[in-house]
């Protein structure tokens, strides 16, 4: 029988409440960066990139407490709809990322310093304006936005998440390398998690629901693979950046946004290169 770590969950609850002042601050700090990232072909190039900010009860959110922020475009103006309490989401990350090689102290520190809340908001400042294809992938296309949000963090927090994503990257590389078609497996991980989160949105809104969900082995496996895969995508881009860009970061990033992100198969080649590059550590 699974029971939550009440002490750590209580700590998360104390740091996971978002308010309009804090979220607006993060949005304002990110908008100028996003303006500079927009390609010349973007219809929003040179505009003010205005945002509406709204808060919503998790019971009314499409995915309950599985997702903290919902970005969308309304009449050429971005809207971020945010649930105020992210403790459930952070606790799921805590459970899912306790994998081989993970320094739990680093993980706890990264979850308690509000940096993951900041990642969740700032990556979604870019998403409504990003040149994305129809039906884009959360584990491939969205990885670029998460990679950038990690890059925008203060140095200590950035290093913590880079370490976490590196460990998760090795974990997922180890898992995927056992399959003849790892890209298909990654798609199945994404699709399975999306369906599961829709089906359990209501249960995610209560602590009793959390306990019930975590006592189902298939739930634990689904969430662990999905959240590890989101970190895997960040690490794939980190390794690709180090390999391809190094001293020419701006040109690499410009090409990713202007020419690569719109492609339906974005990041596939980098994922395969990552899997072939020795990052999977067999045990």
The proportion of the chain whose per-residue pLDDT surpasses 90, expressed as a percent, equals: 72
210 vs 76: CA distance, rounded Å: 37
pLDDT recorded at residue 282: 42
Contact between 192 and 138 under an 8 Å Cβ cutoff? The reply is no
pLDDT recorded at residue 278: 56
**CB atoms near residue 77 (< 10 Å):** 14
14 vs 221: CA distance, rounded Å: 28
pLDDT recorded at residue 245: 62
Predicted confidence band at 281 (pLDDT cuts at 50, 70, 90)? very low
Q: Of 14-18, 40-44, 107-111, 117-121, which range is least confident? A: 40-44
For range 249-275, the mean pLDDT = 92
Give the pLDDT confidence of 165-195 residue by residue, as tens digits: 999 999 999 999 999 999 999 999 999 999 9
Give the pLDDT confidence of 57-114 residue by residue, as tens digits: 999 999 999 999 999 988 778 899 999 999 999 999 999 999 999 999 999 999 999 9
101 vs 251: CA distance, rounded Å: 34
Among residues 198, 187, 2, 18, which one has the least CA distance to residue 90? Answer: 18
The proportion of the chain whose per-residue pLDDT surpasses 70, expressed as a percent, equals: 96
279 vs 131: CA distance, rounded Å: 30
For range 109-125, the mean pLDDT = 97
pLDDT recorded at residue 153: 96
C-alpha distance across the termini of the chain, in Å: 28
pLDDT recorded at residue 279: 58
Predicted confidence band at 283 (pLDDT cuts at 50, 70, 90)? very low
Helix (H) or strand (E) holding 77: strand 77-82
């Amino acid at each position: 029988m699974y029971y939550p770590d009440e002490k750590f969950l209580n700590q998360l609850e104390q740091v996971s409440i978002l308010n309009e002042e804090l979220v607006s601050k993060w949005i304002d700090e990110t908008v100028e960066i996003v303006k500079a990232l927009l390609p010349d072909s973007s219809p929003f190039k040179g505009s003010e990139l205005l945002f509406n900010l709204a808060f919503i009860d998790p019971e009314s959110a499409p995915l309950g407490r599985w997702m903290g922020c919902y970005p969308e475009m309304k009449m050429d103006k971005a809207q971020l709809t945010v649930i105020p309490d992210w403790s459930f989401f952070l606790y799921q990350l805590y459970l899912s990322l306790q994998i081989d090689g993970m320094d739990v102290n680093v993980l706890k520190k990264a979850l308690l310093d509000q940096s993951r809340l900041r990642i969740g908001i700032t990556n979604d400042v870019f998403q409504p304006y990003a040149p994305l294809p129809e039906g884009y992938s959360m584990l491939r296309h969205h990885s670029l936005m998460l990679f950038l949000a990690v890059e925008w963090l203060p140095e200590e927090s950035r290093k913590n998440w880079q370490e976490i994503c590196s460990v998760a990257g090795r974990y997922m590389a180890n898992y995927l390398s056992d399959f003849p078609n790892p890209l298909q497996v990654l798609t199945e991980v994404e699709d399975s998690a999306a369906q599961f989160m829709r089906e359990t949105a209501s249960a995610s809104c209560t602590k009793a629901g959390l306990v019930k969900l975590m006592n189902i082995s298939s739930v634990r496996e689904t969430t662990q693979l999905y959240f590890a895969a989101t970190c895997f995508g960040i690490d794939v881009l980190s390794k690709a950046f180090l390999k391809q860009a190094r001293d020419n970061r701006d040109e690499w990033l410009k090409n990713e946004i202007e020419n690569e992100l719109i492609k339906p198969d974005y990041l596939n080649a980098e994922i395969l290169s990552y899997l072939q590059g020795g990052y999977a550590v067999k045990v």
